[in-house]
Chain A
């Protein structure tokens, strides 16, 4: 008896001891941040981000090293789907990155990780002067200032509300980009008679591109309602919103929106279909202008697995059609897309700050970012140098792209800033319900309101 009891006791003691040992050891991460942060012009900086891709990052780092040759930047690209999951434990430990990129909102926003970020205000003032806020995109200042601390230095801006069309396809069948619902229906009828799709969108997965579509429809139906609903001064159950949802259903029922959208993903399904010339219209944002360049389009086509001699399409942006028919202007809305946060626990903090501020606060840094055509500048006055960029069809595309740049500068609403992940999910759920079921719009709207209230 005694022997058996002691054996069980042995086992229990062993288990508890190992748990306690590990718990006790692993619990406290109260190590203080390094006192002086190292040199500001030399050292190794570990940079984690979901964007940009490795080759563009290499270009940016090379440009940075022209000014600061003694700072070694090591880039680790984490796929966007895993970014938040991987960043959380890394920052909680002592072995996290020195610089980590954050988004305006969502699971890896500047706010989400604000507690790990170093306040960049003094260094920003040193770089751009005491009036630095007037020299950069105000959306980024707003998004990345948490409790009066600047937790991230913005370096990329993105916009949405436009659509992109395959100009070659439109020219081939002699149709013009639609500006009203009726025109859109007729354009799609023409395309469908040739066995092509028309407007394709992917609503599957967690990416919420359909939210942009709802936003554009809402702006066409009742301007400012969307931003009011986000701010809480209007309700998602307001008649304008219900009508917006019903309009989405109309798009799906009258042959504009391609069938099966709830089962496909925007990336890679819709993206590949559009770029390889199978679908004439998509709703993507300003980042899509990179596919107006030869390099990016070639890489995209290779990734889509189409033969190397597939013709390169000419894509141009068009404003979202006035689907409500009330004459309301087509809008664009913008967000700060990325900002660099500096890990307060970093041992090379000063070098990290140098790099973090360089990309968004200096002309050189911004020019590299902007010339890649997937992001817009946050520093005032920086535009793409078209003479250095090879467009697929410069005469057609360049004026349109410059127009988008101008419209983006005038955008006053935000794209995702201020939208919680729960509301975003509720909007996606409502869209799926409108397109894939008979659920009444009022009910779907009520669900969105419930998600907004739950916070």
Chain B
């Protein structure tokens, strides 16, 4: 991107990057410090020895996986439809979809509870999966549509001239080129699903069903907020997502190469 052949310029850019990143790192350092205060690494041990912790972890993973599958399937199809295909009243559907995104969580609780219990999903993971997916889809569609807009129409035309049906166009042309946005949406949706707290608190009654976001609750007493363990729990909860993000870095890169396919 930037001209980096001259060492002096490269050093300047590196320094600029570092300075810009410092404000982001500072609170993270404070957080790690906070999690080690008092009992030090014992805080982490205490969190890890919360009963049923592996179960919480697995439940969170299941929720996140299910949400990702549902959201990606709906989103990439919808992005393709909105961006490249003909729909009468397209924008109206789009705004309808977006409207679903705008209600704050606290307002959704009562009607969602009625809906979820009526379909018999109370105290099951589906009670969290379905609303989270429903809330993430408009957000993901908005982002993906912009990205798919950037794919040149000629590529699609060329494929169709070759005799490909829309499904094949989608699978073989669109999907490979949208790897970067799929990766981005995947991570962002994963984070939302992984961090979902309010719905998990409302719908998951028994510890066998509960997710990892409810772990800090064990350390929040009525009077006593055991901040050290809450922070330790937060660090542990955040680790899997960071690891996922690092692994997906390659996916971001591959999109660049695919752009050169043309």
- A residues engaging B (CB < 8 A)? 4, 7-8, 11, 15, 22, 25-27, 29, 46, 50-54, 74, 76-80, 82, 85-86, 88-90, 92-95, 267-268, 271-272, 287, 290, 299-308, 374
Given contacts A26-B115, A52-B222, A94-B117, 18 further A-B contacts (CB under 8 A): A4-B88, A8-B89, A15-B96, A22-B115, A22-B118, A85-B109, A86-B202, A89-B112, A92-B110, A93-B117, A267-B225, A268-B224, A268-B225, A300-B224, A302-B38, A303-B224, A303-B228, A305-B34
- Residues on B with C-beta less than 8 A from A93 are 113-114, 117, 122
* Closest B residue to A74 using CB positions: B206
A173 to B162, CA, bound (A): 91
* Residues in chain B near residue A374, CB distance under 8 A: 222-223
With both beta carbons as reference points, the residue of chain A lying nearest to B87 in the complex is identified as A7
Cβ of A82 and Cβ of B114 under 8 Å apart?
no
8 Å CB contact of A95 from B88, B109, B117, B223: B117
Q: Is the CB of B93 within 8 A of A26?
A: no
Give 1 or 0 for each of B94-137: 1 = CB within 8 Å of chain A CB: 00100000000010011111110111001100000000000000
Tell me whether chain A's interface is mostly helix, strand or loop, or mixed. Answer: helix
8 Å CB interface, B25-43 against A: 34, 37-39
Across-interface contacts of A54 in B (CB, < 8 A):
218
Q: Which residue of A lies closest to B89 (CB)?
A: A8
- In the bound complex, how far is the Cα of B223 from the Cα of A49, in angstroms? 14
Is B226's CB under 8 angstroms from A302's CB?
A: yes
Is the CB–CB distance between A305 and B123 below 8 Å? no
Interface size class of B (residues with CB under 8 A): 35 or more
How many Å from the CB of B197 to the closest CB on chain A?
Answer: 9
Residues of the B chain whose Cβ atoms lie less than 8 Å from the Cβ of A29: 114
> Taking the nearest CB of chain A, how far is it from the CB of B191, in angstroms?
21
A303 pairs with B227, CB closer than 8 A: yes
State whether B219 touches A85 (Cβ < 8 A).
no
Task: Flag if B222 contacts A51 (CB, 8 Å).
Answer: yes
Q: Which of B114, B115, B223 contacts A267 (CB 8 A)?
A: B223
Q: A308: shortest Cβ distance to chain B, in Å?
A: 7
A52 and B255 CA atoms in complex are apart in Å by 53
B223 touches A287 (CB 8 A): yes
16 pairs of residues in contact across A and B, judged by CB atoms under 8 Å:
A8-B88, A25-B118, A26-B115, A76-B205, A78-B201, A82-B201, A86-B109, A93-B122, A94-B117, A268-B227, A272-B227, A302-B226, A303-B221, A303-B226, A306-B37, A306-B38
For the complex formed, measure the closest distance between the CB of B64 and the CB atoms of chain A, giving whole angstroms: 22
Interface assignment of B220: CB less than 8 Å from any CB of chain A: yes
Give per-residue flags for B225-236: 1 if the beta carbon is below 8 A from chain A beta carbons, else 0.
111110000000
Instruction: Check: B85 CB closer than 8 A to any chain A CB.
Output: no
> What are the residues of chain B within 8 A of A51 when measuring CB–CB?
222
Do A92 and B114 contact each other (CB < 8 Å), given the known contacts A8-B89, A50-B222?
A: yes
Complex interface: chain B residues within 8 A of A290 (CB): 223
Residue from A4, A8, A52, A308 within 8 A of B38 (CB atoms): A308
B4 within 8 A of A: no
A299: which B residues are within 8 A, CB to CB?
A: 221, 224, 226
Residue of A nearest to B106 (CB): A85
Interface residue B249 (Cβ < 8 Å from any Cβ of A): no
Q: How far is the CA of A22 from the CA of B38 in the complex (A)?
A: 51
A90 & B202 in contact (Cβ 8 Å cutoff): yes
Complex CA gap A231/B37 in Å reads 48
Contacts of B110 in A (CB 8 A): 88-89, 92
User: How far, in whole Å, are A4 and B39 apart by their CA atoms in the complex?
Assistant: 68
CA–CA, A82 and B106, complex, Å: 10
* Residue contact A86 to B201, C-beta cutoff 8 Å: yes
Map CB proximity to A onto B204-224 as digits: 1 under 8 Å, 0 otherwise.
Answer: 011000000000011111111
Closest to B117 in A: A93
- The answer to whether the Cβ of B256 comes within 8 Å of any Cβ in the partner chain is no
B231 — nearest CB in chain A belongs to which residue?
A305
For A86, what are the chain B residues with a Cβ–Cβ distance below 8 Å?
109, 201-202
B227 touching A304 by the CB < 8 A rule?
Answer: yes
Q: Which of A74, A78, A89 has the most CB of B within 10 A?
A: A89
Q: How far is the CA of A49 from the CA of B229 in the complex (A)?
A: 22
